[in-house]
Structure 1
């Protein structure tokens, strides 16, 4: 494409301009925009979308800006966007931001009710009330569908049950509403505000994050290392999130294993806290299990840069990742993780076992994630395949 190929001004935007608009709508919908109000988009985000388009000018310093400026002008003339009056001051100036115009009426649409399970039949009277939001209705739908599936199983931690209940519903596969955390904040009356009744209904229990201390004052203190022992081995298993840390720790209490210690990594904190492990700790193997997404895979890679000399490299808990791929339903990543490049995705996935690298790359490039809580306490307690990593 050359400068002579740039679309001329016209009443109807060119196919390229409309393609840019469609990509902007898609990206903003993924981050929670409902299309009923104007939506501000910084020009930096517009450029990221623009450079994902397959047919853009890619030679010369000014040609891409000229093409983008022309597309925005066409969309503005057609009423699809409004550009800010302030520009970036470049030779071919671009607005500092644009506003997408609404694409649908703000009138409240009440979807039809589901066929209620007997335990939720009372929810009918709350379905169309003014204070019942789209999120509450989606939560009722997801819970109703879970009850109809009839796979209650054994009692499990709340976040693990939340994934089973909400993780299959489209509303809770968006980054604004991660399924495993829905019940952390949803307190709507009457159902979600009565914690005791809710936990009994979904056969779950709450797990509080543990207080952290390296030196446990108990008979199980390993005097040489200063770490709380779970078994007789010298392997340290690190788990990203507190719920899965609880589930794995309790599941290990019922099997023979070579794990000496289980640690809650506290997300990215592990990238620095690993520096507290020294050769004196006598840890011979460090195994890690976390979420399958950009953040979750960057943690062990970053932690590996802080390991002290004489310590083993951090390896993936391969059988647990096997289970995560097998059991999990992907949800959408936060917007900041949806623009990962193929090279970065390959770098992050390179830490995994070879059989997981391709699926992990594909997952990240689709802007999706798998929360580790899909590998729940009921699975860990009844399926022995994951134990191959720890026996």
Structure 2
């Protein structure tokens, strides 16, 4: 019996509503909760339970009217799920890489078996490929490994993805390149600011490229940043984002999770300095509960002191204040081709 079904059977009702289904599923698989495919994964689990005779799904009129995919508003538990054939996992010939198998629950062992078959069949005769390609080969389902993995590991950190010859492919990073080899790339958090800086940089040529980080998606794009830097001939990477706790946590988390040998980003301090001096303050009461040390870790002690005073007042500064008009009016004073520092003082 799957652990998801066990959780559902703990319900005092035979009809289990959707909010309770979500609560049980995400408590068992917390890594799935932030996945854009979480609805797909939950629906797949429900259909598997229906195929096993454990639950009944309602008629079409009792499903959500919106959602991609739409989910049932409730399911009905059956009193006698069809029993599955018991498997003695001790009789299985396990690949040496899977010596941790006795530590796993039965439902995890069911998922480990196809991986074991793959390892025994291929015995290292494979190259490293994107995770969805390997998932389709092993499970016949290109999304299965994504739903099972946390970061670059399976089974609670016991099995690195590299052992089965696959890796997560980051979302590509859009960028606009200019002929300025040896300089930094600039990664910006938001797409309007990306457009403004890319236009300005065509003349200013301060950066080899301006890159669109895509907000929180940037956290897991280390390979993509490395590729962009290679293609543009950049020497380093700077980052500029909103001056709120989330805007700072994105690059800090990126640097913390980047793979060994891949580039980190540094704060574009002159841009942040300009924003602190000239930016538009917006209310966000939750900023007052900022994590201690976050601002200093990204901006250094001097700028952190100024920013924490802004946060303590329940306000923050969006990066869009430094936009097209400000850049072209010389808010950031730099001549085309210059290698000097940016001037981040307040605009007169």
The TM-score normalised by the length of structure 1 is 0.38
- Greater RCO between the two (CA within 8 Å, min separation 6)? 1
